[in-house]
Amino acid sequence: MIETDFLRTKFGQALPYDAYVATGKDSHQRAWADFRQNVHTTEEHQSLFDGFIRSMHILAISGTWCGDCVQQVPMLDAIAKLRPDLIRLGVLDRDEHMDLAERLVINDGNRVPVVLFLNEEYDFVSMYGDRTLTRYRALAERQLGASCPLPGAPVPADEIAATLQDWIDETERAQLVCRLSTKLRAKHGD
């Protein structure tokens, strides 16, 4: 897999969510802001994340121009805000970090978003992308044209909620991998 030192370096080069969005064209920034307003975590999500004890890094490889990124990366921002003391989100532009993107090829393509979940020491925990199962199901139902929706394309509220739940579930899975890690349990004495 990918070396820990390389991932640590890449995370150090990543931008916080708002700074990353600000690198996009004005029309892209508006699309990201508009979609972020539709992402709402719940008390149940907060309660789940209140039980987290391990620090994690979430590294998203994205493109401000990408409709799928507009419709998923804001969810990672919402997730990170559930536990800012434990979860750090960093976002990299795929085209500016091809040395990482080329290591994360999915189905023989450089896709976005691709998300890496890393433990507190920047060890690889899991990779998820370019779309969650909910997103793939929804696109399979309605897709007849281009393979990537345009930024700002409308997304039904139930699809947003289900896709957010997909990301929450993967974040919980990564947290449990970290929590049950022999290495980290020895480090923390638990």
pTM score of the predicted model: 0.92
The whole-number pLDDT of residue 152 equals 67
Contact 116, 59 (CB under 8 A): yes
Per DSSP, the residues of 3-49 read -HHHHHHHHHHPBPHHHHHTTS-HHHHHHHHHHHTT----HHHHHHH
The whole-number pLDDT of residue 148 equals 55
The whole-number pLDDT of residue 153 equals 72
The whole-number pLDDT of residue 35 equals 96
Each residue's pLDDT expressed in tens, for the chain with a length of 190 residues: 799 999 999 999 999 999 999 999 999 999 999 999 999 999 999 999 999 999 999 999 999 999 999 999 999 999 999 999 999 999 999 999 999 999 999 999 999 999 999 999 999 999 998 889 998 888 778 775 555 555 667 888 999 999 999 999 999 999 999 999 999 999 999 9
User: Which tokens belong to 47?
Assistant: 């309660």
| Angstrom distance (rounded) from CA 176 to CA 172 | 6
Domain map of the chain by residue range? 4-188
CA nearest to 122, candidates 90, 81, 84, 78:
90
Contact 135, 160 (CB under 8 A): no
> CATH classification of 4-188, choosing from 3.40.30.10, 3.30.420.40, 3.40.50.620, 3.40.50.300?
3.40.30.10
